Structure 1
């Protein structure tokens, strides 16, 4: 070890002994606390006194009393050691090596909205993590997790299958998307023009929730097209159809509004669906998967927070 490093280590050890002596008011008590010897504590304190050029303790027969200089020095030493511990933890976290493969099922909305953020964050800190994304639309993703083809997936909550565990990921509002020209203000379900509605296929859990939401408020759809992709937006722009979609598919604080469309929050009451992390109950989620889910959630939470602050919603 270089001489300068030895000196630094000795200084930090001396400071630890000084703090123990200051708080215990005893070199013997400090020695017990620091797993050292009483002469060793005395030597460390004497070394500090020589270095500082002041007395830090008045030695008594059975105890020691700190001087005014010791009280001042103690305050700074305490803060310095706390900062050192914080720095050590931060550096050790950066040195953590995770070498793992993750295969995760994501909807198109999460792939576009949240995955780039998660990928950049994890790649910078954990370059040995390899991520494979499988885009899905529909309930088959649950079977893919159940069969082991996917490590996990993030999807709207649905009928629970045996052998899988479900943990809450986010509660994502649904919004009405209609042609440009409509006011970008909240709309109650009873006021929705349901003459031409685009709905998810019957096998999708979102279809059940949307139909219950509309039906509960007396809304009947005259014409229905079953689609569950952004391709439906061309019908909204050109032919005056309406569609209810997850907010995260349609809006991001970083993107320009989609041309030819109006996004209206659903209100009185709102419609929001729980999204869950789905994984096999036979496997323990890896650290790499934990980090990926955290990074995805961080981005989704950021978008939801920004959406809640927009004038149309905040009002």
Structure 2
């Protein structure tokens, strides 16, 4: 029996070695890895040194700056995250037999997702899983991406990007970009139009820190869209209030304005000749699998998002 307990402790210690190695690899710092994994910097160094001794190879080059993975470290990283994900998935699969869903889910969403899609998804999920606590952080991708990488968020939905170390990225939704103007606008509500045909525009757009900003500027430049005046707002409620005055317009993802087909608080017009699409992706920590509550909430969120986006799946006739 003592031998078995010792073996179990050794396996747990090996997983701890791998967890700290992955943290150091992704953070490029033993100090940052220690903070992330609730350890001490000397403890991280000791675990990684022990792992190196066991494998007989150096995993990092150490100097005065960031720790740099060796080729052996690069090779181990991919395998290590697979092992950690498999272990967590196995543990969750077994626990699922013991009780119904319970626990916490922490999700990161942009205003694109929170304005229309979140409420029906959250209401439905809470009714179906009353013992799960859902926490939502609303922010732009510049904040959500690092929070997901450190594991503070179970998952987040952000615009497609080039990817980064430590994240698993997969497609989530493709939605149209639409022109939003005041309710009394002369533009065709739920129709489509060429922006270049509107003359000079007064636009409220997100700052360059927002992933969509560069895409929008490229679209304007490529399609002869004249912008008379531009105001930068990283505040979605403020942007919509400004548009409601009738003097400004903005470009937003269609999924965010899905309810306007019936509410008509704003005039929503699809961009045409050419259309402009936004690719949203799901990101989650590479080293972790989704918990059962997180996976269940994601499934509901995906279903509600697809339902709301269905009206924009086909091209609207140009006016």
- Shorter-chain TM-score range: 0.5 to 0.7
Aligned alpha-carbon RMSD (Å): 2.6
User: What secondary structure does 1:98 align onto?
Assistant: coil
The TM-score, its normalising length taken from structure 1, stands at 0.63
**CA displacement at 1:239 relative to structure 2:** 4.9
> Do the aligned residues in 2 keep the contact of 1:196 with 1:224 (CA within 8 Å)?
yes
> Do the aligned residues in 1 keep the contact of 2:258 with 2:309 (CA within 8 Å)?
no
Structure 2: runs of 5+ lacking an equivalent: 1-95
Matched, 1:295 2:300: yes
User: What secondary structure does 2:192 align onto?
Assistant: coil
**CA displacement at 1:230 relative to structure 2:** 2.8
Matched, 1:148 2:148: no
Match of 1:273 among 270, 274, 278: 278
After superposition, give the CA deviation of every residue in 1:14-49 in whole Å (9 maximum; x if it has no partner). xxxxxxxxxxxxxxxxxxxxxxxxxxxxxxxxxxxx
Structure 1: runs of 5+ lacking an equivalent: 1-92
Q: What residue number does 1:206 align with?
A: 212
> Do the aligned residues in 1 keep the contact of 2:181 with 2:246 (CA within 8 Å)?
no
Cα distance in 2, alignment partners of residues 239 and 305 from structure 1: 28
Q: What residue number does 1:218 align with?
A: 224
Cα distance in 2, alignment partners of residues 197 and 140 from structure 1: 24
> Do the aligned residues in 2 keep the contact of 1:98 with 1:126 (CA within 8 Å)?
yes
Q: What residue number does 2:243 align with?
A: 236
Q: What residue number does 1:37 align with?
A: none
**CA displacement at 1:314 relative to structure 2:** 9.7
- CA separation of 1:232 and 1:253: change in aligned 2, threshold 3 A: closer
After superposition, give the CA deviation of every residue in 1:80-135 in whole Å (9 maximum; x if it has no partner). xxxxxxxxxxxxx9x97112211001122322322222223322332222111111
User: What secondary structure does 1:182 align onto?
Assistant: coil
- CA separation of 1:314 and 1:190: change in aligned 2, threshold 3 A: closer
> Do the aligned residues in 1 keep the contact of 2:117 with 2:256 (CA within 8 Å)?
no
> Do the aligned residues in 2 keep the contact of 1:194 with 1:242 (CA within 8 Å)?
no
User: Which protein has the larger Cα radius of gyration, Structure 1 or Structure 2?
Assistant: 1
User: What secondary structure does 1:248 align onto?
Assistant: helix
Matched, 1:305 2:305: no
Cα distance in 2, alignment partners of residues 293 and 314 from structure 1: 35
* Structure possessing the higher relative contact order (Cα contacts under 8 Å, 6 or more residues apart): 2
The TM-score, its normalising length taken from structure 2, stands at 0.62
**CA displacement at 1:233 relative to structure 2:** 2.4
Equivalent residues, number = 219
**Equivalent residue runs for 1:105-124 within 5 Å:** 105-124=108-127
Q: What residue number does 2:136 align with?
A: 133
User: What secondary structure does 1:263 align onto?
Assistant: strand
**CA displacement at 1:144 relative to structure 2:** 0.9
Cα distance in 1, alignment partners of residues 199 and 318 from structure 2: 24
> Do the aligned residues in 1 keep the contact of 2:179 with 2:249 (CA within 8 Å)?
yes
Cα distance in 2, alignment partners of residues 289 and 314 from structure 1: 41
